[in-house]
Structure formats: structure tokens, C-alpha cells
Structure 1
Amino acid sequence: MEIQKLNWAGIKLTSHNKTILIDAVEDFSYYKPVLGDAVESLIEFSDHVQADYILFTHLHLDHFDKGVIRKCLKKNGKLIVYAGLEAVVRKIVIDAEIIILDLNETFTENNITFKPVFAMDGLGEIQSSWIVDDGKTKLFHGGDTIWHNQFWKLGKENSNIDYAFLPVNGVVVNFEIIGLEYSPVPASLSLKEAFAAAHLLHAKKLVLIHYGLFAHEKFYIPQVFDDNDMKRISEEVGQEYMVLKDGTVLLKS
């Protein structure tokens, strides 16, 4: 499996001559009033990527990009959707084949297995995490889940996870402008929580996602950390990790 880190929480997988996109977003302009401007150049991929399968953890627009679906999904490609999102997705996407899966239900095609599993959204929206397994490499993608009590169970029921892609910015949000009262409790995993979650998933490596690209002093306030923090928490928790810069390709045989 070849894995490429895209913008923010997005990744592109290539396996068995098939291309898979998860939480692949190119246009963040809708959320600019609350996220602010990206602090680094965004990767543009939609003009040259053709996907056989597109997955997303939830429908927040920094994880779900209608333009990417329109431009990147092949004519015979498939959206693979957690059942909790079906009704909304069918209203948004009307001209694509959609595979609907309940939590822990699997869909296998071209020797690749897809499985949505439990997640908990920081704003109370519907969200799942995804496990993708091509027989040689298994990965977990956690969108922007918060801490929950199912990581132990997920680790026991889903063995041999090679990479856990987990959010780490522990962001505090102030979304009163859309009717949500302010809360100082982080709306995504913090760095330490992500290391702990990866450890409970028994993942060989934590891969950090959903951090560094956006901050807004009033509305979107992420926790700040550095290389020393990552090394310290890795040793404390006993969890290996890796940092992939946006655009970096990881090759796994």
C-alpha cells in the first residue's frame, strides 16, 4: 500500500491498482471565517487524482469536500458511507454509486476491506472512524474524533493495525456565531490523547493529522506542541509515531 498525506486530515491510498481518498479536502474557503487562513500552501490534487473509492469520517467541510467528489471520483467509482450519514449524503451526491455500511459492517472489493467503526464528534455531529485493510497493510483513520471509551474495544476487535491516523490539535472552538455555546473542552483529540488512543488500538505507528494548518485566535484555538513534546509523550505512553508532511508519500510493501 502506498499512503500519501494530503491537506489537514486527508490521505490518499493506492493498493491493488486502486486509489482511495479519505477525508480529502482541497477547498477550505467555507470555513475561513472560523478556521482562518491556512498557514502553509495547500496541496492541489483534484485535477490529477482519479479515485475508485472515496470515504469521509463526517460532513464537516474540512473533512467532506463536494468538489473533490465531483472531480476525483471515477465514473464507476464508489462512495463508501457510514449508514448514519446516508440520508444527508444522498441529498448532496445524486450521481454516484454509494455503498452504505453500518458500524462494524465490512465491504470488500478488489482485495481491499472497508469498515466503519465507532467515533465521537466534538460538536455532537454524526461521525465514524474507518479501518481499511488490503491484506498487507491495515490502517485506522480517526477523522477528528474526541476521546471516548471504545478505544480499548476497538483495539481488541481489530488486530494488527499498522498505522493509526489520529487528530492531535486538541482544539478549543468558539462557535457561538452558529449557535453553539462556548466550551473550553477540546473538540478533538489532544496530542497525549492521540498517543494513548493509538496505544490502545495497538497500532504500530501513530500518524499525526489534523493539526498545524489552521488557527483563529477567537474561534479556533488549537493546542501548541513541538518535537520535544511528541518525543516525551511517545516515551511516556510507549507508542511509536511518525510525522508526515502534507504531500509526503509513505511506501508500505
Structure 2
Amino acid sequence: MIIQKLPWAGLRVQGETTNVVIDPLFHFPSKFNLPHETFYPLHEFGPVDAVLITHHHGDHFDPKAISAFYGDDIPVYFPKESAELARETSLNNIHEAALGESFSIGDLTITATYSVDGIGDPQVAWIVKSGEKKLIHCGDTLWHGYWWKIAKTYGPFDAACLPVNAAVLELPGMTPSGQPITLSPEQAVSAATVLGASTLVPIHYTAIHHPPLYTETPNILVRLQVANADNKLNLAILASKETLSL
């Protein structure tokens, strides 16, 4: 299995004969002003056989890019609770996935499992298995109590792809909490450890920092290194387009 980092939270997974992409993003949400990293046309990452979406937020679900670069007929897998939102786009091959559901795409086995959204919307984490190799992509989850259930049912993992930017939001119409809606660097290291992951691949950082609407936590990479000071995890810091062979 080969994984390739896309900007923000995106990831391309290459199996023996099948490729999927998770949360690909090209059209940066304008409400966050300008991105702090480069966004590339999705075709530059290579072809895919299907698209997996963790949740419907605009920084994870980019239907215009999916349509433009992969076509309206590409299979797109969505959390069951919000699949109707995907059907309101031009995409016409939407598949629903419920928690605990597994299915095959070519030589890959895909499973939807727990992820907890920071503002309460439906979200799943995707487990992708190719042969003896297995990874989990957790979208933009915050800390939750399902880590141990996931580890017991599906672990261990060769890689855990986890958000690390501990974003604090001040959205119009919502009372500010001051609390992060995604994992912090320290929490990501803890989650990867509980999941039994060999490698932690940080995702969901750098691109968006637009206070006070969206404030990213500081010193992410240094804090990841400090939290992993015992080197129990292989910490794979990937730039966009870089790959990692599991």
C-alpha cells in the first residue's frame, strides 16, 4: 500500500490494482480567505477508482472538483446520515455507508467507523485495507471515547492519518466555546498509540488559519515531536504530493 498526501486533509491510497482518494480538496472555501499552502489540480495526484468522503463540510467535500477531475460517474462514498446532501450535487454515483459497514472497491476493503465531528454533524472515519496493510483516516475528528473500540475491532493499523491543528472556531450564530474542534498534536499522538498504529500521518493543518473565525493551534510540528519523544510512533510528516510506502 502506498499513501500520498494531498493538501489539507486529503489522501490518496494505492493498493495492488485499485486507487481511492479521501477528502480531496481543490476549491478552497472562500470564507477562510486565502490558503496557507498550495492546492493542486486533483489530476496531478493520479487517477482513482472511487472517492471516500468523511463528512460534508466544504473543506472536506468538494463536489465541483470531484466532478471536474474524476467525472460525475465516479463512485463517491458518504456517511449514510448526510448522503442526501451529496445527491444535491451533479455527482450521480453516490453510495451510503453506515457505521460498521464494510465493502470492497477492487482489491481494497473499506470500512466506515467512528469519528466525532466538532460541531455535531455526521462524520465517519475510513479504514482502508489492502492485503495485510491497513490504515485509518479520521477526517477532522476531535478526541472521543471510541478509540479503544476501534482498536479492539479493527486494529492494529499500519498508519493512522489524524488531524492535528486543534482548531478553535467562532462561527456566526454560534456561541464561542474556546474549545478545539479537532485533535491537538498531543491528542493525535495519544490516539495513534491507542489505535495501535505503527505510523502517525498528520493531516488537517497549515492551509486554514483565519482568526477569529478559524484559529489553528501554534507550533504543531514541534509539539508532535515532543509528544512522540519516546519514538514509539513513526512520525511521517508529508508535504503535498509526497508518498509513503507501508
| Pairwise TM-score range, normalised by the shorter structure | over 0.9
Structure-2 residue corresponding to 1:82: 79
Write out per-residue CA displacement over residues 135-166 of structure 1, whole angstroms, 9 at most, x where no aligned residue.
13211001100111000111111123111000
Q: What TM-score comes out, normalization by structure 2 length?
A: 0.92
Distance 1:124 1:8 in 2: 21
Q: 1:241-252 counterparts in 2 under 5 A?
A: 241-252=235-246
User: How far off is 1:18 after superposition?
Assistant: 2.0
Instruction: Summarize the Cα distance change of 1:211–1:47 in structure 2 as closer, same or farther, 3 Å threshold.
Output: closer
User: How far off is 1:228 after superposition?
Assistant: 3.4
Matched, 1:188 2:182: yes
Q: Is the CA contact (8 Å cut-off) linking 1:174 and 1:181 kept in structure 2? A: yes
User: How far off is 1:194 after superposition?
Assistant: 0.7
Structure-1 residue corresponding to 2:161: 165
Distance 1:36 1:76 in 2: 31
User: How far off is 1:167 after superposition?
Assistant: 0.3
Distance 1:237 1:23 in 2: 29
Query: Alignment partner for residue 214 of structure 1, among 186, 189, 208?
Result: 208
Structure 2 gaps, min length 5: none
Instruction: Summarize the Cα distance change of 1:227–1:120 in structure 2 as closer, same or farther, 3 Å threshold.
Output: closer
Matched, 1:117 2:116: no
2:20 is matched by which residue type in structure 1?
A: I
1:57 is matched by which residue type in structure 2?
A: T
What CA RMSD, in Å, does the superposition of the two structures yield over aligned residues? 1.9
Write out per-residue CA displacement over residues 83-106 of structure 1, whole angstroms, 9 at most, x where no aligned residue.
12222222224522x332211110
2:110 is matched by which residue type in structure 1?
A: F
User: How far off is 1:67 after superposition?
Assistant: 1.6
Alignment partner of 2:82: what SS?
A: helix
User: How far off is 1:192 after superposition?
Assistant: 0.7
Structure-2 residue corresponding to 1:2: 2
Structure 1 gaps, min length 5: none
Structure-1 residue corresponding to 2:48: 51
Distance 1:48 1:144 in 2: 22
Alignment partner of 1:92: what SS?
A: coil
Q: Is the CA contact (8 Å cut-off) linking 2:17 and 2:107 kept in structure 1? A: no
Write out per-residue CA displacement over residues 189-223 of structure 1, whole angstroms, 9 at most, x where no aligned residue.
11111111111110111100001122112211111
User: How far off is 1:14 after superposition?
Assistant: 1.8
Q: Is the CA contact (8 Å cut-off) linking 2:48 and 2:70 kept in structure 1? A: yes
Alignment partner of 1:235: what SS?
A: coil
Structure-1 residue corresponding to 2:25: 25
Instruction: Summarize the Cα distance change of 1:251–1:74 in structure 2 as closer, same or farther, 3 Å threshold.
Output: farther
Structure-1 residue corresponding to 2:69: 72
How many residues are matched?
A: 246
User: How far off is 1:75 after superposition?
Assistant: 6.9
Q: Is the CA contact (8 Å cut-off) linking 1:199 and 1:237 kept in structure 2? A: no
Distance 2:19 2:175 in 1: 40
Instruction: Summarize the Cα distance change of 1:93–1:10 in structure 2 as closer, same or farther, 3 Å threshold.
Output: same
Write out per-residue CA displacement over residues 176-200 of structure 1, whole angstroms, 9 at most, x where no aligned residue.
2xx2221101011111111111111
Q: Is the CA contact (8 Å cut-off) linking 1:57 and 1:128 kept in structure 2? A: yes
Q: Percent identity?
A: 30
